[in-house]
Structure 1
Amino acid sequence: MGKLIFMEAIWNSIKIAVKMTIPEHSYRMWLEPVEFNRVENGVMVLSAPNYFSQKRAQDNYGSLILSELKKISGENGRYIIEVSERRRKTGLVKVQKSIQLPLPNENIQPHYGRFLRKDFTFDHFVVGGNNEFAFTASLSLAAKKNSQQNCLFLLSKTGMGKSHLSQAVGHHIISQYPEERVYYLTAEDFSNEMVQAYRTDSIDKFKGKYRKECDILLLEDVHSLSGKERTQIELALTLDTLLDADKKIIFSSCYLPGDIPKLNDKLKSRFSYGIISSIEPPNFRTRVRILQKKMLSNGYQVQEEVINYLASELTEDVRQLESGLIGVTARSSLMGIPINLELAENVVKNIAQRKKNITIDIIKKLVCKHFNISLIDLVSSSRKQTVMRPRQIAIYLSRRYTDSPLQTIGKCFNKYHATALHSIGVIERGIKDNGSLKKQVELFSQKLESGNF
């Protein structure tokens, strides 16, 4: 008994030492759950809660554990990590339930909805001061460490990582709790499915699926529910049922619940029920780490000065950083030239400067010229289709190609920010359903991106 207590104390000392050398969130996720089990033939036997945790702890931190063990017990120190006996037994039950394991290197299909991107996991997410709280809240919800936290609202501009965190929660739950039913979809998907259910007289089946067959709901882009009264009522009832049953829910949006126009008070209350966590643009150091992570995961070889240059110039969001890295490596491969600072400067010139030169005034003039209307008409209160549609397109393009906040865009067109948001939603939906509108928007995009304005 004394020897077991001594070995357990050694393991606790190792955990403390390793904790000082790795990110805190990595420690909490992979090493904190690993416990001392027994000593067998002079080998320290550790216990992980499941096979996934066992593999991650061994692959990522095995050398650190062994190094610390040898420091304490000498060169003969040895250890192994097993899956806990309790988990093995539950695992046998799960195999009998025919739960299918995901294929390697493939996007993951949750129990319902869209695929989860294979690289959108917690391991691939770069944590910085801009997103640490959102990461911690997402990980806590996924790991079920806080029984009081059932709801999380992720807030950020496009391209900051809220979809990554939402899908990371899905990945983690599917791997650690495969019996849990994960639904991943956008609010637009939910609305379209509900409308189809009414058309096919299957609304009861639709309600039952979301209220009785879902354990974790990951609902993206909830601002697209603006103005959809019937969908809002149904979703609010569904959320009430899920929350009463202690299910987990993650929402994501570009806007705070209170800033989404034409959203009923009940749904605003449900969106605000749990933690609201915003994700800000990454600082320089975090941008460097993001590029380094992408470089390693994709097998790129890029000099440090090129990475630093991309991080200093591409400051808007993560997608822009990825675009720069892909642009540099793709151009190098296609042209057979080395990746250097000159190549990076050419790629960045087409990404960063493009957006800096586009203003709301330029967009207004471009739209007026194309539709042959006056600037006065464009910013007027006219609701004629020949004026209102160009105005909506101009507002949509202003949101897409400038950094101006929604309130500023609305003022430039003599509209409230709620009207501006509605216009953006109209065009976003129209692009999906209307081929001619999609071609019009693509034409404007080509002109703006090429500098032909």
Structure 2
Amino acid sequence: MQAAWNRAKTGIHKKVPHHNFMLWVEPLEYVAKQDEEIILSCPTVFFKKWLTRHYLRLIERELEGVCGGPCRVTLKVSDEPNGNGYHGPEDDQLSLPHVTDRQPMLSALHKDFTFDQFVVGISNDFAYNAALSLACSENACHNPLFLLSKIGLGKSHLSQAVANHILRNDPKIRVCYITAEEFTNAMICALRHDRIEEFKEKYRRQCDVLLLEDVQFLSGKAKTQDEVAFTLDALLEAKKKLIFTGTYLPGDIPKMDEKLASRLSAGIISSIESPDLDTRVRILKKKASLKQLDISEDVIHYLASKLTQNVRQLESGLIGVGAKASLLNLPMDTELAKSVVRNIVQRSREITIERIQRLVCKYYKLTMEEFLSRSRKRSIAQPRQIAMYLARRHTGESLQAIGRSFNRYHATTLHAVGTVERLIRENGPVQKQVEFLSRRLESGQL
């Protein structure tokens, strides 16, 4: 029967992408045959659940063709410990002392950012499988992994899904999920308080999995780049798992050290593109189900056909339809969806870099000549940075295009965006100013 299983695997390999076969089918092992039932072993409960949903019927058909009769496949989680040391939820979880000490490296994770909640399509299947493989494997064969995409396409979801999966399987693993900006701030704080050796110990020798988000923020920060490079060297040598995310390829990030760019690019680089129509439909259905919105197929397909930029835009449309129907006591039909979509699309078309510049000049009482000058006065430089941030947030233009509009290099634009993002997180006056200007832009009051 082992030979029959091997022939069936050969047939399956011809019908599914190679990376899917290696990830999901190759690890299966033949256990036994009892009448029409064939028992195969798989590594984890999650593996069994995913395989049952996607490939079980295909496996059964191939085995029926090889065996010449009906076959029913049963998947059994292996009794042997897998790479994560996880036997499944049926095992009793022993209570451990000092629970707060088990995850000293963990930053806040979004509990809903899991592999189960991620909608897979043509635009992201390779990234999904690469992330899942890294999360499940013991030897980290696809290490490191760099997830590349524009804002709102799911790279943070996938990176956090890796962390959530690993911690669910083995809470003792030390996972560090941190943004490049947080890493920079932590290093600066350690230097100021003469605790840099403690900082190095934490990130180089007390970390099993490092997830570093938004690496483009490292642009121009030479000392931080050096520390990141040393940290990556130490973790790679210790065969730890590494995942990076960014909106640009490491080699395209301005003022990025070549050696660090090389380290960030050393493994798999997987880009995530805008979802196609079928994927957008499934994303909307998934999110409607999670939000308990009873929306018809017609409305789902209309939203999916009109909102094509990213997942956040889809969610905005879905929330808009639900909120408008609830507040105005209207049916969630296509006409209601059209009114919501019209507002979203109209806003995205009307907001241009030139209009942002005019609005910011008006609000801060600057002439356009002062605004575009080389002046570094705070009263001019900060409004200019805010305008660059708003252009990046609302227009979808590239850093190069935004930089040209302000007579600046794209590296300056990247620095401006990072600076404003930091000021927003401080919840100070800049945060209120940015939100005020964003509301004016979105409402069309330019």
TM-score scaled by structure 1? 0.84
Show CA shifts across 1:238-263 (max 9, x none): 11111122222111111222332333
Q: Which amino acid is the alignment partner of residue 38 of structure 2? A: M
Say if 2:56 and 2:73, in contact at 8 Å, map to a contact too.
Answer: no
Partner of residue 160, structure 1: 153
Report SS of the residue matched to 1:185.
strand
When structure 1 is superposed on structure 2, of 358-367 and 287-296 the one drifting more is 287-296
Report SS of the residue matched to 1:168.
helix
Q: Which amino acid is the alignment partner of residue 47 of structure 2? A: S
Q: Which amino acid is the alignment partner of residue 81 of structure 2? A: R
Q: 2:280 aligns with which of 278, 287, 292?
A: 287
Say if 1:110 and 1:174, in contact at 8 Å, map to a contact too.
Answer: no
When structure 1 is superposed on structure 2, of 23-32 and 187-196 the one drifting more is 23-32
Q: Does 1:400 align with 2:400?
A: no
Show CA shifts across 1:323-367 (max 9, x none): 111222233344443211011112112222112101111111111
Partner of residue 99, structure 2: none
Partner of residue 225, structure 2: 232
Distance 1:198 1:351 in 2: 46
Partner of residue 144, structure 1: 137
Corresponding pairs, count: 437
Distance 1:202 1:65 in 2: 56
Q: Which amino acid is the alignment partner of residue 159 of structure 2? A: S
Distance 1:312 1:292 in 2: 14
Say if 2:204 and 2:234, in contact at 8 Å, map to a contact too.
Answer: yes
1:294 to 1:256, Cα distance in 2 relative to 1, 3 A: same
| Offset, 1:58 | 5.0
Q: Which amino acid is the alignment partner of residue 380 of structure 2? A: V
Ranges in structure 1 where 5+ consecutive residues have no aligned partner: 101-108
Q: Does 1:452 align with 2:426?
A: no
1:202 to 1:342, Cα distance in 2 relative to 1, 3 A: same
Q: Does 1:343 align with 2:323?
A: no
Report SS of the residue matched to 2:243.
strand
Say if 2:12 and 2:58, in contact at 8 Å, map to a contact too.
Answer: no
Report SS of the residue matched to 1:85.
coil
Distance 1:61 1:49 in 2: 15
Say if 1:150 and 1:274, in contact at 8 Å, map to a contact too.
Answer: yes
When structure 1 is superposed on structure 2, of 191-200 and 358-367 the one drifting more is 191-200
Q: Which amino acid is the alignment partner of residue 258 of structure 1? A: G
Partner of residue 9, structure 1: 4
| Offset, 1:392 | 1.2
Q: 2:42 aligns with which of 48, 56, 64?
A: 48
When structure 1 is superposed on structure 2, of 125-134 and 246-255 the one drifting more is 125-134
Partner of residue 106, structure 1: none
| Offset, 1:321 | 0.7
Partner of residue 34, structure 1: 28
Q: Does 1:431 align with 2:429?
A: no
Partner of residue 188, structure 1: 181
| Offset, 1:149 | 3.1
| Offset, 1:98 | 4.7
Say if 1:159 and 1:319, in contact at 8 Å, map to a contact too.
Answer: yes
Q: Which amino acid is the alignment partner of residue 159 of structure 1? A: G
Q: Which amino acid is the alignment partner of residue 257 of structure 1? A: P
Distance 1:128 1:83 in 2: 27
Ranges in structure 2 where 5+ consecutive residues have no aligned partner: 97-101
Distance 1:9 1:330 in 2: 56
| Offset, 1:37 | 0.7
Distance 1:88 1:138 in 2: 17
Report SS of the residue matched to 1:184.
strand
1:68 to 1:417, Cα distance in 2 relative to 1, 3 A: closer
Report SS of the residue matched to 1:86.
coil
Say if 1:19 and 1:27, in contact at 8 Å, map to a contact too.
Answer: no
Distance 1:70 1:178 in 2: 41
| Offset, 1:151 | 1.4
1:283 to 1:24, Cα distance in 2 relative to 1, 3 A: same
Q: Does 1:410 align with 2:382?
A: no
1:62 to 1:254, Cα distance in 2 relative to 1, 3 A: closer
Q: Which amino acid is the alignment partner of residue 306 of structure 1? A: V
Partner of residue 367, structure 2: 374
Say if 1:194 and 1:206, in contact at 8 Å, map to a contact too.
Answer: yes
Report SS of the residue matched to 2:80.
helix
Q: Does 1:86 align with 2:80?
A: yes
Distance 2:347 2:242 in 1: 38
Identity %: 50
Q: Which amino acid is the alignment partner of residue 402 of structure 2? A: I
Q: Does 1:218 align with 2:242?
A: no
Q: Which amino acid is the alignment partner of residue 295 of structure 1? A: A
| Offset, 1:448 | 0.7
Distance 1:271 1:27 in 2: 27
Q: 2:433 aligns with which of 415, 434, 440?
A: 440
Say if 1:54 and 1:81, in contact at 8 Å, map to a contact too.
Answer: yes
Q: Does 1:422 align with 2:415?
A: yes
Distance 1:266 1:73 in 2: 57
1:37 to 1:267, Cα distance in 2 relative to 1, 3 A: same
1:435 to 1:297, Cα distance in 2 relative to 1, 3 A: closer
Partner of residue 105, structure 1: none
Show CA shifts across 1:273-319 (max 9, x none): 22333222223333223223333454433222212211121111111
Report SS of the residue matched to 2:81.
helix
Report SS of the residue matched to 2:330.
coil
When structure 1 is superposed on structure 2, of 138-147 and 187-196 the one drifting more is 138-147
TM-score scaled by structure 2? 0.85
Distance 2:20 2:115 in 1: 9
Show CA shifts across 1:342-401 (max 9, x none): 111121122221121011111111111111111111111111222111111111111111
1:118 to 1:232, Cα distance in 2 relative to 1, 3 A: same
Distance 2:334 2:212 in 1: 41
Distance 2:75 2:206 in 1: 35
RMSD: 3.4
